Amino acid sequence: MSRDRGIDARVAELHIGFRPSGGRGEYEVVGNHSGYNAIGLEGWTFSMRWPDGLVRDTGLWLDPAESGKPRLRSMLTPAIQISRIVTSMLMLPDPTRELRSTPKSLPIAVTKRYIVKDVGFGTESEFTGVADLVTFVPSYITVANLGESKSIGVAARWTRVEAVYIQSDLLPGALPALVQSHRDSLATGDPVTRALTSTVNGIMASLSSTPGLAYQEGSDPLPALEMLLGISPPSGPTLPPPDELGEDAPAISARSAHQYRLAKVRGASGRVFSNAVRASYSNRCAFCGAQFGGIPGIRSGVDAAHILAWSKHDLDVVPNGLSLCKLHHWAFDAAIIMPRREDDRYYLRFTNLADLLGHEEIARIGKEGQPIPDQWLPNDTALHPSSAFLQRLYADLGVTFRSDV
């Protein structure tokens, strides 16, 4: 589906992606941003603007390579790839570049048992053609093993790291000095080297020997540090808003949209919206027709789901809502299945994210191309799901419908 550039002119669609190569992964530049793509960036060097405001030389450049597949190469000695740079800065365990050696279980971020799959470019990334220099703003990273993956918002994670910095003197044992070393290293603005990885390894080793601390050796040290300091991680979305993520990262956009929907600050207007949507749909799920509610004294069993996230668009109106059962609310928030208006009717359409599910799970969610009967929708056609809101949702998430492939 094409994107309306008049609406989303600032969307970033470029990221650094992991590509297996002979068992050992390499990193390449994927997508487009500000008119540039990987071919146009061959030979360019890469700097990184961190949330602390400092711009650091990564020591990376895009090697054109004789194979015609440009790869990111480190010019530092010893070499350090983007995965180790960003994870050590975010105080994450040291990753591997051998995906096939990773497990299929949780937790994902365990030393040498996961990879960094993607590093997203934020909308404020800059391209300086005179100097052949990319100054990218990392917006998220995706970490993965053979069975699991999750996305981490860089700015949100960095806020948590800074909170630990502030109170690091209260940590036990060798931890204050190690955390201060991490802070001092980044404060210089110098290129990140393997020394920062060693510092994070030291923090994890110290946590492992801290009496009374239930810490899994080699796992993410930040939650353990927060627990020791009595710090509660900030609530709310951790990823950039979906309208700052592009078509090249549909799964990340879907996760972001889900976070922003869950982060809605509900007040009186939210309750009015929920009640109005349920009443308009007669407590019926728009995707399966099941009616769960309308019984005096018993809470309705359907949810009032926003099409465009309230936290981003502040649209508490029925045409921006859908009445959905729990299963279909999840599938809609996950961008697995969407209503789509075609001619004068609505149909259920699966997106390419449905490919991640099995046939049995897909069958439980619905049938591709199933029309939504008029009786499952509000009697007043003015309250039907807004086609404009749905189109904006598809664009925000960068979804690809199976029926369009």
258 and 380 both lie in a single domain? yes
Give per-residue pLDDT as tens, 22-51: 657 899 998 887 788 888 899 999 999 999
The answer as to whether 389 is a domain residue is yes
Between CA 307 and CA 354 the distance in angstroms is 19
* pLDDT of 6: 29
Residues β-bridged to residue 323: 304
Of 340, 325, 337, the residue nearest 384 (C-alpha):
340
261 and 139 both lie in a single domain? no
DSSP states of 242-294: GGGB-TT-HHHHHHHHHHHHHT----HHHHHHHHHHHHHTTTB-TTT--B---
* pLDDT of 95: 97
The arithmetic mean of pLDDT across residues 55-72, rounded, is: 87
User: Domain range spanning residue 325?
Assistant: 242-404
Between CA 201 and CA 195 the distance in angstroms is 10
263 and 150 both lie in a single domain? no
190 and 330 both lie in a single domain? no
148 and 32 both lie in a single domain? yes
The answer as to whether 3 is a domain residue is no
Q: How far is CA 384 from the centre of its chain?
A: 30
- From 206, 229, 252, the end of a domain falls on 229
Q: How confident is the model at residue 68 (pLDDT cuts 50, 70, 90)?
A: low
Between CA 76 and CA 402 the distance in angstroms is 44
* pLDDT of 236: 67
217 and 282 both lie in a single domain? no
> Residue 266 pLDDT > 70, yes or no?
no
211 and 256 both lie in a single domain? no
How many structural domains compose the chain? 2
277 and 399 both lie in a single domain? yes
* pLDDT of 170: 93
- From 229, 258, 276, the end of a domain falls on 229
Q: How confident is the model at residue 318 (pLDDT cuts 50, 70, 90)?
A: very high
Cis before residue 78, ω within 30 degrees of 0?
yes
* pLDDT of 3: 31
169 and 26 both lie in a single domain? yes
* pLDDT of 355: 87
- From 229, 253, 275, the end of a domain falls on 229
DSSP states of 27-66: EEEEEEETTEETGGGTT-EEEEE-TTS-EEEEEEEEE--T
The arithmetic mean of pLDDT across residues 157-172, rounded, is: 94
Q: What angle do CA 271, 272, 273 make, to 5 degrees?
A: 90
Give per-residue pLDDT as tens, 331-358: 998 889 999 999 889 999 999 888 888 8
Give per-residue pLDDT as tens, 97-147: 999 999 999 899 999 999 999 999 988 899 998 899 999 999 999 999 999
* Model pTM score: 0.63
The answer as to whether 41 is a domain residue is yes
* pLDDT of 248: 56
The backbone torsions φ and ψ at residue 374, rounded to the nearest 5 degrees and listed phi first, read -60, -35
The answer as to whether 258 is a domain residue is yes
266 and 182 both lie in a single domain? no
Q: What is the mean pLDDT of the chain?
A: 86
The answer as to whether 370 is a domain residue is yes
The answer as to whether 234 is a domain residue is no
Q: What angle do CA 392, 394, 395 make, to 5 degrees?
A: 65
Between CA 226 and CA 203 the distance in angstroms is 13
The answer as to whether 212 is a domain residue is yes
95 and 141 both lie in a single domain? yes
> Residue 4 pLDDT > 50, yes or no?
no
The answer as to whether 1 is a domain residue is no
- Give the pair of three-digit tokens for residue 340: 């789509």
DSSP states of 164-189: HHHTGGGS-TTHHHHHHHHHHHHHT-
The arithmetic mean of pLDDT across residues 2-8, rounded, is: 30
Q: Is 212 helix (H, G, I), strand (E, B) or coil?
A: coil
203 and 273 both lie in a single domain? no
Check residues 130 and 384 and name the one with the higher pLDDT.
Answer: 384
